[in-house]
Amino acid sequence: MSRSLNLRVAVTGSSWMGGNVGSVDTALRELLSGARRELQIATYELRIDAKHLLDILEDRLEAGVAVTMVVNRLANKPFSVREYLQALVASHPYFRLYTFEPPTEDEDLHAKLIVADRDRMIIGSANLSWRGLVENHEIAVRIEGQEVASVASAVDKLLGSAHIRQIRAARDI
């Protein structure tokens, strides 16, 4: 049985823009805005200068979309990011926030992916920051199809890791 996989490339950085290749930022906006049931996000870096994406995330939460976010070493992120995410935890019951905290400095969650409704995703090298979304030369692929469900299952499995801790209140960070 043949399965159809829809794949599109997105980039940041002026050197490889153009020629039917879209921007990572636009692709992320579209993916987040289009989520109807669920979003899963795993990220190494998150900066408040990517707040426009966090605002879309908040809009989706207000629409009843369940959001699961895993951030590498959340306690090390800027105060403004932690404060924004803590407010989302406090005000949105469908927002589940996790920090990835391995026992040694030799390990990190370096993934950069967003899965929407278990059938669409973006995975690539860009961090959720202005540099990652605009200035650096990054690449990502947007994938649509049944295979995305296996990535969503991998995120589910990650949530069961001993390196993961859920953030339920400000004191948890």
CATH number at residue 53: 3.30.870.10
Give the domain extent around 78.
6-172
What's the pLDDT score for residue 170? 66
Distance, CA of 23 to CA of 134 (rounded, Å) = 8
Beta bridge partners of 143: 7, 121
Nearest to 48 by CA among 90, 11, 77, 91: 77
Chain mean pLDDT for the chain: 93
Q: Is 108 among the domain residues?
A: yes
Q: Inter-axis angle of helices 24-34 and 51-62, to 10 degrees?
A: 10
Q: Is 33 among the domain residues?
A: yes
Low-confidence ranges of the chain (pLDDT < 50): 1-2
Distance, CA of 140 to CA of 137 (rounded, Å) = 10
What's the pLDDT score for residue 3? 62
Are 9 and 37 in contact, with CB atoms under 8 Å apart? no
Q: Is 1 among the domain residues?
A: no
Nearest to 52 by CA among 75, 23, 20: 23
What's the pLDDT score for residue 20? 75
Sequence-separated (6 or more) residues with CB below 8 Å from residue 76: none
* CB-CB neighbours of 22 under 10 Å: 16
Q: Is 20 among the domain residues?
A: yes
What's the pLDDT score for residue 57? 96
Number of folded domains that form the chain: 1
What's the pLDDT score for residue 1? 44
What's the pLDDT score for residue 169? 76
